[in-house]
C-alpha cells in the first residue's frame, strides 16, 4: 500500500494561493501591478519569491507569512516583539479589578435576602468579562484580525451547506 504525500510547490507569484488573512479567498497577481490581492477580503500583498515570503502591504507595520509549500505559516509583525511584560499587563488588567471587586463583595457581603443581593456577584462577573473584552479587542486591533470578514466567510460557508 502506497501512501500519498501532499504535494508541495514553491511560491510563485503567478499562481493563486489561499489568503492567509481571511482563509476564504484566493490571492493572485493584480493586473498591471507587482502586487497580489485577495478576491474576498481585498487585502493587498507583496511577495518575495526568493525568500518565499508574503507581506501585507496595506498595513503598518506589515504582517509577514512564510510559504512552506502547502500553506502559509506565521503572522509576524516586523519590528515588534511581544514579551512577558505585555502578557503580565494583560493578565493584570483582566484579574486585578475583578479580584478587587470579588474581595470587596466577599468581605462586605450584602444583606441576605435583599432585593439586590445578586448585584456584587453580577458586577464582579461583568468586570471580568468587560476587561477580558478590552484585552481581546486590543489584540484584534493590533493584529488587525478581520472580524467582519471572518463572519462573512462563516455565513458564506453556512449558506453553501
Contact 65, 75 (CB under 8 A): yes
Contact 144, 80 (CB under 8 A): no
pLDDT tens string 32-71: 888 888 888 888 888 888 888 888 887 777 778 888 888 8
pLDDT at 2: 45
Query: What region, left, alpha or beta, does residue 31 occupy, with left being phi > 0 and alpha being psi -120 to 50 degrees?
Result: beta
Closest by CA to 66, choosing from 79, 54, 80, is 54
Kindly state the cell numbers that stand for 97: 479589578
pLDDT at 5: 45
Whether cis (ω within 30° of 0) applies to the bond prior to 61 is: yes
pLDDT at 145: 65
Burial per residue of 90-113, b for 16 or more beta-carbon CB atoms within 10 angstroms, e otherwise: beeebeeebeebbeebeeeeeeee
Given pLDDT bands bounded at 50, 70 and 90, which one contains residue 4? very low
Given pLDDT bands bounded at 50, 70 and 90, which one contains residue 1? very low
Kindly state the cell numbers that stand for 53: 515570503
Stronger pLDDT, 129 or 31, i.e. the higher one? 129
Q: CA separation (Å) from 146 to 22, 43, 143? A: 7, 10, 9
Would you list the domain boundaries of the chain?
Answer: 17-77, 84-160
Close Cβ partners of 84 (under 8 Å, ≥ 6 residues apart): none
Given pLDDT bands bounded at 50, 70 and 90, which one contains residue 78? low
pLDDT at 123: 96
Three-state DSSP state, 140: helix
pLDDT tens string 92-114: 999 999 999 999 999 999 998 89
pLDDT tens string 123-157: 999 999 999 999 998 887 776 666 777 777 778 77
Contact 57, 44 (CB under 8 A): yes
Residue 29 host element (H or E): strand 26-29
User: pLDDT at residue 23 above 90?
Assistant: no
Given pLDDT bands bounded at 50, 70 and 90, which one contains residue 122? very high
Amino acid at each position: 500500500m502506497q501512501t500519498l504525500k501532499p504535494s508541495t510547490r514553491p511560491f510563485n507569484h503567478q499562481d493563486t494561493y489561499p489568503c492567509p488573512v481571511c482563509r476564504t479567498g484566493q490571492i493572485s497577481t493584480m493586473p498591471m501591478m507587482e502586487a497580489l490581492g485577495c478576491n474576498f477580503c481585498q487585502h493587498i500583498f507583496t511577495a518575495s519569491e526568493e525568500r518565499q515570503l508574503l507581506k501585507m502591504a496595506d498595513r503598518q507595520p506589515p504582517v509577514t507569512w512564510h510559504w512552506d509549500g502547502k500553506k502559509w505559516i506565521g503572522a509576524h509583525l516586523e519590528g515588534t516583539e511581544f514579551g512577558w511584560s505585555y502578557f503580565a499587563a494583560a493578565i493584570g488588567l483582566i484579574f486585578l479589578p475583578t479580584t478587587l471587586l470579588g474581595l470587596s463583595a466577599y468581605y462586605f457581603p450584602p444583606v441576605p435576602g435583599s432585593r439586590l443581593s445578586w448585584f456584587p456577584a453580577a458586577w464582579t462577573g461583568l468586570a471580568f468579562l468587560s476587561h477580558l473584552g478590552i484585552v481581546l479587542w486590543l489584540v484584534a486591533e493590533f493584529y488587525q484580525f478581520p472580524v467582519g470578514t471572518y463572519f462573512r466567510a462563516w455565513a458564506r460557508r453556512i449558506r453553501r451547506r
